[in-house]
Structure 1
């Protein structure tokens, strides 16, 4: 089997060494080249044998040019190499990567986390998902609109772009959100509260600590015998409405 060729980009030598040793434990992987800067990585990818590099382990914080800047550039390619971001402390970047289905390694990472990352990359390459990955990378790396219009949903070896306008309502499921579409349900790794921060409040309304509904989906509101409320949705579903969000739902129905 042909080895998966990887490029390591980290301005700190210990970081490069750690990744090199970690990859050496996986026979299906090969370190093609190590670079200490984004400029050196750009040159390596442009070299004749650079076209065979399938995965880039990319540090975020580097002097002169950040890893994010290089990612934005690579995002313009039709089939960019898979990018696995590496970070020591940038929590905001980690959250963004999770939401946009881009993998990351948080320093220091353990063997199990590293193996999971390699498996995701291997599965994506095996299923020829690099075109879909490229679209997801562009969605993150390029300037974003004020509110999100789509989500890049990741599963093993696959990335799917879900348009938020197709989501009728969404329900919390631990650290995931279950997106309810007209004919199916999609599980996305993000908390409901974090997702709400990026939704247009004119289009989506929080009705419960565990549910957000597209405003146009709310058809009516009914009180239960125990004093609780439920909203009937145009798709046929019913959703509990908590007292905290009751006034907002009533105001919506009075428009």
Structure 2
């Protein structure tokens, strides 16, 4: 799989280092370079790169504002932020940055980032193929009182414990499972689900926003539901480790 990349960096020396590093990675093509935020947005519209390495501090329009605009018209673009400072990580997460690099660039770090991107793109391609083929649609078997139901994993928004039931919130409504949350977590272990709290499991593909909420918890805002989910700060730190990005929680 060939991966196309746009470099957005106002420092010519940094642009050169990044281009050289990317050109040494097989099946990776740098299709354009931008020196400021306005040019970045224009080139993303014209060239539609899969990946953008985006300097946060650029003239005309900074990297964060450029990223927000890119997300509006092409949300599938993979954004990799770069800066000499580490105080932008929370803002980077808010615009769904895939990764966050601290300058000066390290070749091994760039390689690891591209390896993760390639893995994610391959998984996404496989998932899309499975979705287009009804026989390959990923489902799990849910036990309700007196019956068993197959549920499409991609339809699940989140799961929560309510009394003796586990309520499964989906894009098609709610289900009351008679299984334990631990049993359902195991069934979902091969998919993009995360135990955000002892009483909640969330579909990471449904996460819209994460907000601070009290001293020990934060609130997860999800797509396709008006309900929010709690995440403990230790779990937030685990998510930081898993996705190599900082949410700013101590």
* Length-normalised TM-score, structure 2: 0.54
Partner SS, residue 113 of structure 1: helix
8 Å CA contact 1:55–1:81 kept in 2: the answer is yes
Give how far 1:56 is off: 0.3
Following superposition of structure 1 onto structure 2, how do residues 108-187 of structure 1 map, counting pairs within 5 Å? 108-128=104-124, 139=209, 149-150=219-220, 165-167=228-230, 170=232, 172=234, 176=238
Whole-angstrom distance in 2 between the partners of 1:165 and 1:133 = 13
Structure 1 partner of 2:78: 82
**Distance change (3 Å), C-alpha of 1:151 and 1:26:** farther
Q: Structure 1 residue 195 and structure 2 residue 249: aligned? A: yes
Instruction: Tell me how far 1:46 sits from its aligned partner.
Output: 2.3
* Secondary structure of 1:195 counterpart: coil
User: Partner of 1:93 in structure 2?
Assistant: 88
Larger Rg: 1
**Other-structure match for 1:18:** 17
Gap runs ≥5 in structure 1: 153-159, 179-185, 197-255
Q: Which runs of 5+ in 2 are unaligned?
A: 129-202
Q: 1:110 to 1:72 in 2, by over 3 A?
A: same
Tell me the matched-pair count: 170
Q: 1:124 to 1:176 in 2, by over 3 A?
A: same
Match of 2:100 in 1: 104
1:43 corresponds in structure 2 to 42
CA RMSD of aligned residues (A): 4.3
TM-score by length of 1: 0.53
Shift of 1:82: 0.3
Q: Report deviation, 1:32.
A: 0.2
Partner of residue 4, structure 1: 3
Contact 1:58-1:85 at 8 Å conserved across structures: yes
Match of 2:57 among 61, 66, 75: 61
Contact 1:78 1:134 in 2 (8 A): no
Secondary structure in structure 1 of the residue aligned to 2:249: helix
